[in-house]
A and B are shown apart, each in its own frame.
Chain A
Amino acid sequence: MSAWSPEHPDALDQLNQRPQPRPKVAVHKFSSCDGCQLAFINAGEALITLSQLVDIVHFAEAGPLDAEAEVDIAFVEGSISTPHEKERIEQVRRQSRFLVSIGACATSGGLQALRNFNSHSAEQWTQAVYAQPAYIDSLETATPVAEHVKVDLELWGCPVNARQVFAAIRALLFGVMPLIDKDKLCVECKRRGNVCVLVAKGEPCMGPVTHLGCGALCPAFGRDCYACFGPAENPNTHALARRFVGLGLLPEEIAHRFHFINSHTPAFRSAGLEWAE
Chain B
Amino acid sequence: MDTQYAFLPRNALDQLLDALRKAGFDRLVGPIARDGAIVYDTLTSAAQLPHGYRDEQAPGRYRLHQADSGRCFSWANGTQTLKPLTFAPQEVLWHCERDAEGCLRFKNPTVNHSPTAVIGVRACDLVALRLQERHFLGGRFHDPHYGARRESLFLLAVHCTHPAKTCFCASTGDGPKAAIGFDIALSELDEGFILEAGSLRGGELIRTLALDDATERQRELAKTEIETAALQQSRSLPSQNLREALYARLEDRHWDKIGMRCLSCGNCTAVCPTCFCHAEHSVPTLDGTQTTHQRQWDSCFTAVHSYMGHFLVREETRLRYRQWLSHKLASWHDQYGRSGCVGCGRCITWCPSGIDLTAEVAALTRQETSHV
Within 8 A of A (CB), among B278-321: 281, 283-288, 296-299, 302-304, 307, 310-312, 315-317
A240–B34 touching, CB < 8 Å: no
Within 8 A of A (CB), among B16-40: 34-37, 39
B263–A239 touching, CB < 8 Å: yes
**Which residues of A are found within 8 Å of B283, using beta-carbon distances?**
167
- Interface 1/0 per residue, B251-285 and A, CB below 8 Å: 00000000011111111001100000000010111
C-alpha spacing A179/B307, complex, angstroms: 13
B261–A1 touching, CB < 8 Å: no
B303–A196 touching, CB < 8 Å: no
Residue of B nearest to A4 (CB): B307
B307–A3 touching, CB < 8 Å: yes
**Which residues of B are found within 8 Å of A166, using beta-carbon distances?**
286
Instruction: Say whether chain A's binding surface is mostly helix, strand, loop, or mixed.
Output: helix
Check if A50 is an interface residue, CB within 8 A of chain B.
yes
A50–B286 touching, CB < 8 Å: yes
- Interface 1/0 per residue, A232-271 and B, CB below 8 Å: 0110101110110010000000000000000000000000
Which listed residue (B79, B307, B310, B352) contacts A205, Cβ 8 A?
A: B352
B317–A236 touching, CB < 8 Å: yes
**Which residues of A are found within 8 Å of B303, using beta-carbon distances?**
1, 4, 182-183, 233-234
- Looking at A79-87, A143-151, A186-194, the stretch in contact with chain B turns out to be A186-194
C-alpha spacing A233/B354, complex, angstroms: 21
Which listed residue (A50, A191, A198) contacts B352, Cβ 8 A?
A: A198
C-alpha spacing A201/B62, complex, angstroms: 8
A184–B266 touching, CB < 8 Å: yes
| Given A190-B89, A199-B349, A200-B35, A53-B262 contact (CB < 8 Å) | no
Check if B233 is an interface residue, CB within 8 A of chain A.
no
| Given A1-B304, A186-B352, A239-B297 contact (CB < 8 Å) | no
Check if A195 is an interface residue, CB within 8 A of chain B.
yes
C-alpha spacing A251/B242, complex, angstroms: 41
Which listed residue (B34, B267, B307) contacts A186, Cβ 8 A?
A: B267
B286–A191 touching, CB < 8 Å: no
C-alpha spacing A200/B281, complex, angstroms: 32
B260–A191 touching, CB < 8 Å: no
**Which residues of A are found within 8 Å of B350, using beta-carbon distances?**
196, 199
Residue of A nearest to B314 (CB): A234
| Given A170-B288, A191-B297, A195-B79, A240-B352 contact (CB < 8 Å) | yes
C-alpha spacing A37/B303, complex, angstroms: 30
B270–A184 touching, CB < 8 Å: no
Check if B60 is an interface residue, CB within 8 A of chain A.
yes
C-alpha spacing A238/B307, complex, angstroms: 25
Check if B240 is an interface residue, CB within 8 A of chain A.
no
**Chain B: number of interface residues, binned into ranges:** 35 or more
Which listed residue (B36, B261, B316) contacts A195, Cβ 8 A?
A: B36
- Interface 1/0 per residue, A156-200 and B, CB below 8 Å: 000000000011011001100001011110110011111110111
C-alpha spacing A202/B302, complex, angstroms: 24
CB of B85 to closest CB in A, whole Å:
11
A186–B265 touching, CB < 8 Å: yes
C-alpha spacing A202/B64, complex, angstroms: 13
Check if B90 is an interface residue, CB within 8 A of chain A.
yes
A236–B262 touching, CB < 8 Å: yes
B287–A49 touching, CB < 8 Å: yes
Within 8 A of B (CB), among A99-145: none
**Which residues of A are found within 8 Å of B265, using beta-carbon distances?**
184, 186-187, 207-208
B352–A196 touching, CB < 8 Å: yes
Check if A73 is an interface residue, CB within 8 A of chain B.
no
**Which residues of B are found within 8 Å of A69, using beta-carbon distances?**
none
A184–B264 touching, CB < 8 Å: yes
B264–A190 touching, CB < 8 Å: no
**Which residues of A are found within 8 Å of B36, using beta-carbon distances?**
195, 200-201
Check if A209 is an interface residue, CB within 8 A of chain B.
yes
**Which residues of B are found within 8 Å of A205, using beta-carbon distances?**
352
Residue of A nearest to B80 (CB): A193
Check if A46 is an interface residue, CB within 8 A of chain B.
yes
Check if A9 is an interface residue, CB within 8 A of chain B.
no
CB of A184 to closest CB in B, whole Å:
5
| Given A49-B287, A182-B303, A190-B267, A199-B61 contact (CB < 8 Å) | yes
Check if A21 is an interface residue, CB within 8 A of chain B.
no
Check if A222 is an interface residue, CB within 8 A of chain B.
yes
**Which residues of B are found within 8 Å of A179, using beta-carbon distances?**
281
CB of B100 to closest CB in A, whole Å:
17
A199–B352 touching, CB < 8 Å: yes
C-alpha spacing A113/B354, complex, angstroms: 33
Within 8 A of B (CB), among A196-231: 196, 198-202, 205, 207-209, 222
**Which residues of A are found within 8 Å of B266, using beta-carbon distances?**
183-184, 186-187, 190
A-B contact pairs, 20 of them (CB 8 A): A4-B311, A46-B286, A186-B265, A186-B266, A186-B267, A186-B270, A187-B302, A190-B89, A193-B89, A194-B35, A199-B60, A199-B61, A199-B62, A202-B61, A208-B352, A209-B263, A234-B316, A236-B261, A240-B352, A243-B352
Known contacts A1-B304, A183-B266; 13 additional CB pairs below 8 A are A167-B283, A170-B285, A183-B302, A184-B302, A186-B267, A187-B302, A193-B89, A196-B79, A199-B349, A199-B352, A234-B303, A239-B261, A240-B263
Question: Which 9 A-B pairs have CB atoms at the shortest separation, nearest pair first?
Answer: A190-B270, A195-B35, A208-B263, A191-B89, A200-B36, A186-B265, A208-B265, A1-B304, A195-B37
